[in-house]
Amino acid sequence: MKQTDPSQQHVLGGVYAFIAYFLWGFMPLYFLLLAPTGPWEVVAWRVLLSLVFCAILLTVTRTWGALVAIMRQPRLMLLTAVAGILIYVNWQVFLIGTLTGHVIETSLGYFINPIVTVLLGVIVLRERMRVTQWVAIGIAALAVGVIVVGYGAFPWIALSLAASFGLYGLVKKQIGPSVDAVSGLTLETLWLSPVAAVQLALVAATTGITMGSAGIGHAVLLCLAGVVTATPLLFFAAGTRRAPLSLVGLLQFLTPVMQFIIGAWLLGEPMPLERWIGFALVWVALIVLTVDSLVAARRSRAAVAEVV
């Protein structure tokens, strides 16, 4: 039997993770192309069409059996329901931010996310934090304070995105490898389908459904919402199974960097001095956190090598 080369798997995993984060980085541009569709309608279609796309994938790959096996486990079903609620909040806030001229603030949310993840590890999983991690969290808190006081607005979009995606990651960690990427997204969107249906009904009764009313090109783009949602998730799942966590952690900053560039330079969103200072503090916190993680990983590998 041919042995799998770990180094090749690491490289392949890095490529997959890079593709996932790169696609997520372009998400604001895709959703902006969906105008005049509003955020509530977009999220509803995103849920329903993702479910359809996942059903097609399950059929093509003949993995309905894996899904049925998961559905027989109440704990996993409950966790996927919680994950569905959290990703719904994340999607909805992200769309509201993107379609109301707050792309820069959405990027701030994903910059803060790694720090929220570390904090959740301490609060929920009772993990012990190193001094440098506390320093990073302190700097990030100062950054939020600077933005609130200097910019005169509470960054609720950024904090909601960071909290919802951080909690989503925590729930997915509890699920572990018991649920594959396609089955997980299928169940999450299945739970959300009634919410999406009600949401579409409310949109139809108020502003009106835009699907099919803004031209063929717009309808095609809107129909691709399921593919656009599921594809990076599948690449991400494939990448994290192969690449070292340290590499995935470094690559995750690609998405908010791209979103920041899109918001500041392509869309011309305002960046007053106090916002630059706030973002600069967040970037300092991320540098401290990243260096600490790399040093800790190196020490851990050295300790294992000594034992062996």
DSSP state of 34: T
Count Cα atoms within 13 angstroms, Cβ side, for 83. 24
Q: Write the CB contacts of 267 (distance below 8 Å, at least 6 apart in sequence).
A: 101, 103
Asked if 278 contacts 144 with a C-beta cutoff of 8 angstroms, the reply is: yes
Question: Residue 36, preceding bond cis, omega within 30 degrees?
Answer: yes
Name the E strands within 191-278: none
Comparing 152 with 80, which gets the higher pLDDT? Answer: 80
**pLDDT for 215-229, tens place per residue?**
899 999 999 999 998
Amino acid type, 73 = Q
DSSP state of 2: P
11-15, 127-131, 224-228, 263-267: segment of lowest average pLDDT? 127-131
Asked if 203 contacts 38 with a C-beta cutoff of 8 angstroms, the reply is: yes
Residue 1 has pLDDT above 60, yes or no: no
Q: Write the CB contacts of 255 (distance below 8 Å, at least 6 apart in sequence).
A: 21, 22, 24, 25, 110
Residue 2 has a pLDDT of: 47
Q: Write the CB contacts of 20 (distance below 8 Å, at least 6 apart in sequence).
A: 232, 233, 235, 236, 239
Domain ranges of the chain: 7-307
Residue 42 has a pLDDT of: 95
Q: How far is CA 2 from CA 5, 10, 239, in A?
A: 9, 17, 21
pTM of the full predicted structure?
Answer: 0.86
Tokens of 235: 């690449």
Query: What is the residue-averaged pLDDT of the chain?
Result: 87
Residue 214 has a pLDDT of: 83
Asked if 115 contacts 169 with a C-beta cutoff of 8 angstroms, the reply is: no
**Could you tell me the pLDDT band of residue 11, with boundaries at 50, 70 and 90?**
confident
Residue 129 has pLDDT above 80, yes or no: no
Tokens of 207: 């502003």
**Could you tell me the pLDDT band of residue 12, with boundaries at 50, 70 and 90?**
confident
| CA pair distance 44, 225, nearest whole angstrom | 10
36-40, 195-199, 278-282: segment of lowest average pLDDT? 278-282
Q: Write the CB contacts of 250 (distance below 8 Å, at least 6 apart in sequence).
A: 290
Residue 148 has pLDDT above 70, yes or no: yes
Q: How many helices and strands, by DSSP H and E, does the chain display?
A: 14, 0
